[in-house]
Structure 1
Amino acid sequence: MLAVSEAVLRESCRDLGLEITTRKLDKLLIIKDFIRFYGRSMNLTGALREDSELDAHVIEALQVVALAERLKIRGRWLDVGSGGGFPALVLAAWLGDLNLVLVEPREKRASALELALAKIGRPDARVIRGRLEGSKWRPIDGAALEPGFDAASARAVFSPERWIAEVTPWMKPRGMICLHLNAGDSVPEGSELAGRVDGERWSAVGVWSVPRGTTG
C-alpha cells in the first residue's frame, strides 16, 4: 500500500507541475501516517475507509501548493480552521520558507497540529487558538493575531463570499486569498482572480485582497 501511495503522490505532483523531492515525499508520507494513526482519536478528519481517501485530501492540498508556487507566494500565510491538517500541514511540508500561522479553536486539535509540525521539522510554524468572527479576532487563552498576511486559506470553514469578507482586514493589499471551490466554479462576483489550479472535484482558486473602501 505504501508503494502505491508513493506512486499516486508522485504522479499527482507531476500533473500539478510540482517537482517532488525525496525529502518532500517523505514529509507527505509522515503526514499521512500521522493522520491515519491519530485521526480518529484526535478527531482530525471524518472516517477514512481507504488509503485513497487520505491521498485525495493530500492531493487537494497540493493544489494549494501549486497555486502558491505559480503566484510566487512567500512571506506570512494564515490558515484558519486548521484542525484537520489540510492544507496547512502540506503547505508546511512543501514550502519551508513560509511563515505559517495556523488557527484552530479546539485544544486537542491544536495540540495534534503542533505534534505533526514537529514531526515534519516545522516547529517554527505557529499554532494559535481562537476564531475569526465578523472580521474580528476572538482569542482563546490570550493568543494574539497580527494582521498583514501575504496569503490565507480556510478549507471547509466559510462560504467563499464570507471567507473573503472575514479575512480581508487581516491581509496585505493584494494579498492572495485562497478559495476551495467545486471544480469549474467561478469566483464570487466582484473578486479579482489571481490564479486557479483545477482538479477533478475541487479547485484551489486565488483572489487578490482589496482593502475595504477601495476598488481593484
Structure 2
Amino acid sequence: MIANEEAARSWLRSRPEVDKAATVRLENLVALLSAENQRQNLVSAASLEQVWLRHIVDSAQLLAHVPRGTSGAWMDLGTGAGFPGLVIAALRPETAVLLVESRTRRIEWLSRAAAEIGLTNVRVCGQRLEAVETRPVSVISARAFAPLDRLLELSARFSTRDTLWLLPKGRSAKQELEDLRTWRHAFHVEQSITDPQAGIIVGTLAGGKGRPT
C-alpha cells in the first residue's frame, strides 16, 4: 500500500510507462491542475497536498490491470478534472483516449490541459454520454461516475466481449458488484494500492440487462 507522496513518486518511477517524457507530462498536469483549482473546484484543496498519491497514482494504477498488447481506444466516462483519463493519456501517448464530460467548464479545462501538455492522443467528447456516438473501444474506465448497474446501462453499447472495464469504486466496490444481478459478466474486485478501503472493479461484460449472472 502506498502511503505518502514520496512512495507515490517512487512507485511511478518503477512503472514501464514512466520515462522522462511521461514524467514531464505528469509534472505539467499537476502544475496546471493546481493553478486551475484556484479558478474552479476541480478537486478538493486538501487532496492537492497529496496530488501524486490521490490523483496521479490512483489513476495510473489502472494500467497494471491492462494486458500487454492491448490496443484500440480507451474511453473514460465522466472524466471531470481529468482522472484517470488525462493521466492515462500522458502515460500511453500511443493510445487514443476519449474523455467523456458534459460540464462546460470541465470540457474547457480538459481541452486546454491536453493541448498545453501536448497530448495529441486525446479527444474530448463534450456531451452527455447518451449522445456520444456508439463505437467499440478496448478499455472503459470511470471514476465515481455512476452506480455500477446504471453505468452499464449507459455504456454497455461501447463494449465488446473483449473490452476491459476498469472502475475505481472506493469503499462501495464489493457491495456494488454483489448487488449486480442482471448482467452477464466476468467482473471481480482488485484492491486499490492508494487506499486500503477502496476497490477497483475489473473485468469484461458478456451480456445485457435481463440475463442473470
TM-score band w.r.t. shorter chain:
0.7 to 0.9
Residues 1:173 and 2:169 are matched in the alignment: no
1:30 to 28, 31, 36: 28
Tell me the TM-score normalized by structure 2. 0.80
Residues 1:92 and 2:92 are matched in the alignment: no
In the alignment, what sits opposite 1:129? 126
Question: Structure 1 residue 44: deviation in Å?
Answer: 1.8
**Maintained 8 Å contact 1:66/1:197:** no
**Maintained 8 Å contact 1:65/1:94:** no
Residues 1:191 and 2:189 are matched in the alignment: no
**Maintained 8 Å contact 1:27/1:120:** yes
Percent identity of paired positions between Structure 1 and Structure 2: 20
Tell me the TM-score normalized by structure 1. 0.79
Question: Structure 1 residue 41: deviation in Å?
Answer: 1.0
CA distance in 2, matches of 1:30, 1:130: 26
How is 1:42-191 mapped onto 2 (pairs within 5 angstroms)?
42-48=40-46, 50-53=48-51, 55-68=53-66, 70=67, 72-132=69-129, 137-138=130-131, 144-182=132-170, 185-186=173-174, 187-188=177-178, 189=180, 191=185
Cα RMSD for the two superposed structures? 2.8
2:39 counterpart SS class = coil
CA distance in 2, matches of 1:36, 1:184: 28
Residues 1:206 and 2:194 are matched in the alignment: no
**Maintained 8 Å contact 2:171/2:199:** yes
Structure 1 regions of 5+ residues with no counterpart? 139-143
2:139 counterpart SS class = strand
Moved more, 91-100 or 184-193: 184-193
Question: Structure 1 residue 156: deviation in Å?
Answer: 1.0
Question: Structure 1 residue 193: deviation in Å?
Answer: 3.0
Question: Structure 1 residue 215: deviation in Å?
Answer: 8.5
Going by fraction, where is strand more abundant, 1 or 2? Answer: 1
Question: Structure 1 residue 30: deviation in Å?
Answer: 0.9
Amino acid at match of 1:120: I
In the alignment, what sits opposite 1:12? 11
**Maintained 8 Å contact 1:103/1:129:** yes
CA change 1:194–1:50 in 2 (3 A) is closer
CA change 1:8–1:29 in 2 (3 A) is farther
CA distance in 2, matches of 1:203, 1:121: 31
CA deviations over 1:164-195 (Å, ceiling 9, x no partner): 33211111222111111336943444531378
Amino acid at match of 1:12: W
CA distance in 2, matches of 1:106, 1:50: 22
**Maintained 8 Å contact 2:185/2:207:** no
CA distance in 2, matches of 1:182, 1:49: 15
2:55 counterpart SS class = helix
1:84 counterpart SS class = coil
